[in-house]
Structure 1
Amino acid sequence: MHEYIHITFVLVVGFIALFIMTKILGKSQISQITPFDFISAIVLGELVGNALYDENTGISQMLFSVLLWTILILTTEKITQKFRRTRKLLEGGPSIVIRKGKIEYGQLKKNHLDLNQLQELLRAKDIFSLRQCEYAFLETNGTITALKKPEYTTPTIEDLQLKYPKIKVPINIILDGEIVHENLNILGWDVKFLDEKLKKKGYENVKEILYADWEKEDGLHIQTY
């Protein structure tokens, strides 16, 4: 029984420590996973694993290791922000894998990318034939940024000389059967006013509603469970 309590305690402490670390590092560190970040994830997982199963590694050692690793990552980020020349060494750089419609085979080999993988990445960018692509960059996080040839691009509103539509941002007011009170305040509504609007739509209880938002011109949009 004592062993299970120890495992639970270590996992909870490790979870909190890693959660705090991700908050400190920021969203960009999470969304843009580079090879360096991949190594970081493996190391941090190993630190928590050692605290769980290695009798010589305790909670304090794990917390110290997580703190030290966080400092190292933050230091690396600060260095790359301040000294431009260090970015390529520490973070890598994008590779041009298609240039002027022609595949750069040398760059594919350098990045260990085959044609099937290249096509898969391009399909995610709505490019289903290599003939449609003018330029393609393999980014440091493994994604592709692609530019279509002019004849395959979608015409814009400016190209068609149309009037620009108004940008509409709907406001969520119910999520998972619960009222989002801060958004109600933005609209200047109260719960009673919302209930009246829901009853007009035939809904007696907020708990019936999975999702609801409000948009000035289109009004209330509701989806039930």
Structure 2
Amino acid sequence: MNLGTITIEMVVGFFALFFLTKVLGKTQLSQLTPFDFISALILGELVGNAMYDPDVHIWMILFAISVWGILMYSLEILTQKSMKFRKILEGSPSIVIRKGTMDRKQMSKNKIDINQLQNLIRQKGYFSLREIEYAILETNGSISVLPKSDNQPVTRQDLKLQQQATTLPVTLIMDGTILYDNLSTAGVDEDWLIKQLKKKNFHSAKEIFYAEWKNGEDLFVMKET
């Protein structure tokens, strides 16, 4: 195979895979089920091996990607439409700690030992199993934790404080560049932003590495270093 043929096949394969991932949706890596992970590996192997096989042409690569993509897309539709099929393909969450007690049967069924369970619990910020009331092993291998009431964080409702509206922070400056679309989202303009910067002894957005707006709070600014 010459370099030109390899280049063309790599470009075609790249955009074909890019298109396929767009069609299949925005599943994050942490949300992949075991079947999704294996499917991605097989698809990568199909394309990778085909690119360096002189007997395989571009149309064969596209055909392989199309067939595999149709199969994966069909399974995605089936899992959305059928709960039974979804359970078979994706599995179902398992309660591995119930009312403060480890469920050895569920742990054995999911091939997880106590060391792995402790590791997952620590990743959630809890360093003792005695702090946990319920722990659910999700289908993607992560764990969801409900701590005992004594270990749950205090909320404003617990302290009987007045509730406040929750607002999302908005990035206004990034890498010295003003994000004008985000100014509109925040309901402010460039003049307001420059005035806020001057209050903090900055004269230009180019001096700013990152600036964030949040309703009811001062403008958060990190300068370029």
Q: Which range, TM-score by smaller chain?
A: 0.7 to 0.9
- Tell me the amino acid that sits aligned with residue 35 of structure 1: P
**In terms of mean alpha carbon deviation, does 108-117 or 193-202 score higher?**
193-202
Q: Give the percent of matched residue pairs that are identical in Structure 1 and Structure 2.
A: 49
Where does 1:185-196 land on structure 2 (aligned, <5 Å)? 185-187=184-186, 189-191=188-190, 194-196=193-195
Structure 1 residues 214 and 112: CA distance shift in structure 2, 3 A = same
- Tell me the amino acid that sits aligned with residue 115 of structure 2: N
Q: Which residue of 2 aligns with 1:62?
A: 61
Structure 1 residues 23 and 44: CA distance shift in structure 2, 3 A = same
Deviation at 1:130, TM superposition (A): 1.0
Count of residue pairs the alignment pairs up: 224
Residue 12 (structure 1) aligned with residue 11 (structure 2) = yes
> For each residue in 1:187-221, what CA deviation from the matched residue of structure 2 results, as whole angstroms up to 9, or x when unmatched?
45554554454344333333332111223422322
Contact 1:80 1:90 in 2 (8 A): yes
Q: Which residue of 2 aligns with 1:78?
A: 77
Q: Which residue of 1 aligns with 2:31?
A: 32
Partner Cα separation in structure 2 for residue 110 and residue 143 of structure 1: 16
Partner Cα separation in structure 2 for residue 51 and residue 210 of structure 1: 45
Deviation at 1:38, TM superposition (A): 0.8
Partner Cα separation in structure 2 for residue 26 and residue 62 of structure 1: 22
> For each residue in 1:115-169, what CA deviation from the matched residue of structure 2 results, as whole angstroms up to 9, or x when unmatched?
1111111112222111111221111100001211222222322222221123232
Partner Cα separation in structure 2 for residue 29 and residue 75 of structure 1: 19
- Tell me the amino acid that sits aligned with residue 51 of structure 1: A
Contact 1:50 1:57 in 2 (8 A): no
Residue 206 (structure 1) aligned with residue 205 (structure 2) = yes
**TM-score relative to the length of structure 2:** 0.87
**TM-score relative to the length of structure 1:** 0.87
**3-state SS of 2:83 partner:** coil
Where does 1:145-164 land on structure 2 (aligned, <5 Å)? 145-164=144-163
**3-state SS of 1:146 partner:** strand
Q: Which residue of 2 aligns with 1:177?
A: 176
Residue 111 (structure 1) aligned with residue 110 (structure 2) = yes
Partner Cα separation in structure 1 for residue 152 and residue 168 of structure 2: 26
Structure 1 residues 181 and 32: CA distance shift in structure 2, 3 A = same
Deviation at 1:39, TM superposition (A): 0.9
Deviation at 1:96, TM superposition (A): 1.7
**3-state SS of 1:28 partner:** coil
Contact 1:22 1:30 in 2 (8 A): no
Q: Any unmatched runs of 5+ in structure 1?
A: none
